[in-house]
A = this chain, B = another copy of it.
Amino acid sequence: MSLAPVIDATREAVRADPANAEAQFRTESTLVGVTEVDVRVGSHTFKVDEPTSLGGTGVAANPVELALAALGSCQAITYRFWADKLGVEIDHVSVRVDGDLDVRGFFGFDDDVRPGFTGVHVTVELGGPESEDRYRDLAQQVDEHCPVLDIFTNPVPVERTIAVRP
């Protein structure tokens, strides 16, 4: 199934009223174990945890792995959308994402070390009948329009409020 009709319908909806372009997303995360977290996203629920080496029980991927999964899955889906938008045929998309992290930042052992990834490596494997040049052009469009790649590579304004209850 091509996503072209979804793209066209969205274009028309946004043209009719620009407010239709504004999407809101919400997640709720609650600590339920030493490091085990229950996450709710609409009707979906899943767990996040640290491995035993970091004091958790390893029942699920940890937060930085989830961030890499967000990037990899966003790349894969953006390939699908932009292939359909540009009329590029594509049969296979898989994306490996590797992240390097120096734990001294998280633990506060060295304030010169950032807590997040010092480097991320995205390896995309594409299959299909088009020329390699066409897939490379597609990849460039994907990287310019992939939401989670933007979140990784450019600063996002984040505001935090805190409520303390007795």
Interface residues of A (CB under 8 A from B): 1, 3, 5-7, 10-11, 14, 21-31, 34-35, 37, 39, 41-42, 44, 46, 48, 50, 54-55, 60-82, 85, 92-109, 113-127, 129, 132, 135-136, 139, 141, 143-166
- Interface majority SS (helix, strand, loop, mixed), chain A: mixed
Q: In the docked arrangement, what's the CA distance between A10 and B62, Å? A: 17
Minimum C-beta distance from A150 to chain B (A): 3
| Residue of A37, A96, A114 with most chain B CB atoms under a 10 A cut-off | A37
Chain B residues contacting A66 (CB-CB under 8 Å) are 66, 69-70, 73
Minimum C-beta distance from A158 to chain B (A): 5
Report whether A150 and B27 are in contact in the complex, using a CB–CB cutoff of 8 Å: no
Report whether B27 and A42 are in contact in the complex, using a CB–CB cutoff of 8 Å: no
Minimum C-beta distance from A155 to chain B (A): 6
